[in-house]
Amino acid sequence: GSAAPSSRKRVLILFPYARHTPGFISFDTGLRSTLTGSKDYEFEFYTECMDLTRFPDKRYHDKLVELYREKYSGLKFDLIIPLLRSSVDFLTAYGDGILADARAIIYEHDPGSFESVQSVANAAVVTGNLDMENTLALALRLHPRVRNVFVTAGASHYDQSLETRARAALRSFESQVELRYLSGLPMNELIHRVSNLPAHSLVFYLSVSRDGVGQSMKSPDALALISKQ
């Protein structure tokens, strides 16, 4: 038979980017698989992929709030899971008017993102780790001829926060390779630069969610490596 009302739990997942982002697909699949394996509860999932990077205007955010108020006015959530700093900022700004009293589990793969964020009521924070040091160390072991590392980042606040972390995390490699930062450039210039790298170069891609002329990118997935021998 169906679960009793007290054992049926509603979960809302807030994701700041587009639904097709690979990291989100992996997270969403793993979460649903884990929770639906419970013998004690039945879960109803609601997911909002808010696309905040491609549509950063306040007017769009206000329309989202209006939509969510209408959409969820008759529902009470047991748990909200805002993923990444942008979702937390959205929830902090608008959550009191939409999602009152629900508990939250915040996930962020960059613990430094929460150093200045306002707290969210009834929230626990789970953080991962973008292990930039060991990522580059592994890449250099696999490609020992690399002499130049080009670190690429966009112009959004998120992109720039990753670049700041990278500059600190990768400083120990400065005696081993030439570190160069390609950040905040127009996309056509960035493409031109990485298409014409010298031999024995590696591209350490962080995130480009917005380029230097304000164009929003489709997917800001962090940490990719491309080697040119």
Given a contact cutoff of 8 angstroms between Cβ atoms, the answer to whether 103 and 82 are in contact is no
The Cα-based distances of 133 to 10, 168, 179, 229 in angstroms read 39, 10, 13, 21
pLDDT for residue 98: 62
Alpha carbon 150 to chain centroid distance?
22
Rounded mean pLDDT, 59-86: 90
Say how many residues make up the chain.
229
Structure pTM?
0.71
pLDDT for residue 38: 87
DSSP secondary structure string for all residues of 160-227: HHHHHHHHHHTGGGTTTSEEEEEES--HHHHHHHHHTPPSSEEEEEEE-SB-TTSPBPS-----EEEE
Q: Rounded to whole angstroms, how far apart are CA atoms 179 and 86?
A: 29
Rounded mean pLDDT, 82-91: 86
Of 72-76, 209-213, 220-224, 225-229, which gets the smallest average pLDDT?
Answer: 220-224
The percentage of residues in the chain with a pLDDT greater than 70, rounded to a whole number, is 83
The 10s digit of each residue's pLDDT in 5-58 is 578 899 999 998 888 877 788 889 999 999 999 888 999 999 999 988 778 888
* Mean per-residue pLDDT of the chain: 84
The 10s digit of each residue's pLDDT in 147-189 is 999 999 998 877 888 899 899 999 999 999 999 999 999 989 9
Answer yes or no: is pLDDT of 204 > 50.
yes
pLDDT for residue 159: 84
pLDDT for residue 183: 93
